[in-house]
Amino acid sequence: MLVDTSIIRRRQSRQVMVGKVAIGGGAPVTVQSMTTTKTADVDGTLAQVYALAAAGADIVRITCDSEDAAVALTHVVPRSPVPIVADIHFQYRLALAALEAGVQKVRLNPGNIRKPEHIKAVASEARDRNVPIRIGVNAGSLDKELLERYGEPTPEALVESARREIDLFNEVGFDDIVISLKASSVPLMVGAYRSMAERVDYPLHLGVTEAGPLPGGLVKSSAGIGALLLEGIGDTIRFSLTADPVEEAKAGKLLLESLGLRERRGLDLIACPSCGRAEVDVISLAEEAQRRLEELGMKFQVAVMGCVVNGPGEARGADLGIAAGKEKGHLFIRGQVVRVVPESEIVDALIEEAERLRDEGFEARLAEADADAAALAERTRAERLAVDVDPNHTSEHAERARDIASGDE
């Protein structure tokens, strides 16, 4: 299904190349994640990088916190399927070592590496190697002087921290910059990014840091990142979850697909939340359908709806769907009912039709539609509506309103 993204007017930013992946400058918003392995474990780290790439990560960050980690990067980088970012916190020499190892990007935390000569040494080396740097400001590790001045982490404090780093980079002629302004507070990070977006044209890396475990971490990250993306702010994103990092990549990809900012790569299953009208166990059906469709690698938008009253209409845009009604399932393709099957066969019929759509195409399947299916579905819907007719006593309220308005009382 095509999504209208015309309401999102993306902020114009300069473009930075991370290996062969573009960030900013109108390029598609990219997904990032970070390994949790010990970097010195080359095989384990590479296995996680490959898993992240398969889950949708375009770029992967790896910690470089020791000499052994820097050496390991020389083995990881050339074997990685995606560009690698070296994460540096305190030791600027590890940033220099990571650049020597061939990483395609470096992340520096300005709150932890404070000496101007060290910062400029890294920027000079990155400049000579044409490697971008992300200025990774974090509300939890702001420079003490900024904390004393502002009293606490504020959007203005985060922005000033980044601006100071930019000035140091510019002193050595380095301008290949990405900026992040992360906080665990959603309002704080949103405010900081909005402020920075008005001041510079560098690409912005969005994230809610330390968002926590599921489901809370997903909610906070989606709220902050999603709000900014809808405003057109953001060029690359990372969900920082206390979970398997593969979940971060999946969540980032799904968010971008949901906003229409990236083309759907996998299954998009939509389902009603269920209600008193539902004539089947919608939750169980949806879970089974999702599991089986994902196992088959289906890339359709599929709808599982609990009743025929609103189901087909609400899911009209889905490629394939099924709505339950009167111990039957009404199977529809792009809004057209094509088959009616027994309730016990709902999921099997959905899987079978998905496989046939994949193999034969939509036109062929619509041409094979059961001629009586649409009429039967409409009769079932009409019967259900007759049972539910005027549940809110609309006509009674309307007549009463007319009497009041006319002054007959």
User: Mind listing the pLDDT tens digit of every residue in the chain (409 residues)?
Assistant: 444 555 889 999 999 999 999 999 999 999 999 999 999 999 999 999 999 999 999 999 999 999 999 999 999 999 999 999 999 989 999 999 999 999 999 999 998 998 999 999 999 999 999 999 999 999 999 998 999 999 999 999 999 999 999 999 999 999 999 999 999 999 999 999 999 999 999 999 999 999 999 999 999 999 999 999 999 999 999 999 999 999 999 999 999 999 999 988 788 888 887 776 666 788 888 999 999 999 998 888 899 988 766 666 667 778 999 888 767 888 889 988 888 899 889 999 999 999 999 999 999 999 988 887 777 767 766 666 665 544 455 556 667 766 777 776 5
What pLDDT was estimated at residue 395? 59
Contact between 278 and 307 under an 8 Å Cβ cutoff? The reply is: yes
pLDDT at residue 178, rounded to an integer: 98
pLDDT of residue 391: 46
pLDDT at 387: 57
Q: What is the pLDDT of residue 103?
A: 98
List of domains in the chain: 16-258 (3.20.20.20), 268-387 (3.30.413.10)
Q: For residue 273, what pLDDT is reported? A: 79
pLDDT for 5: 52
How confident is the model at residue 280, as a pLDDT?
76
Q: What is the pTM of this model?
A: 0.84
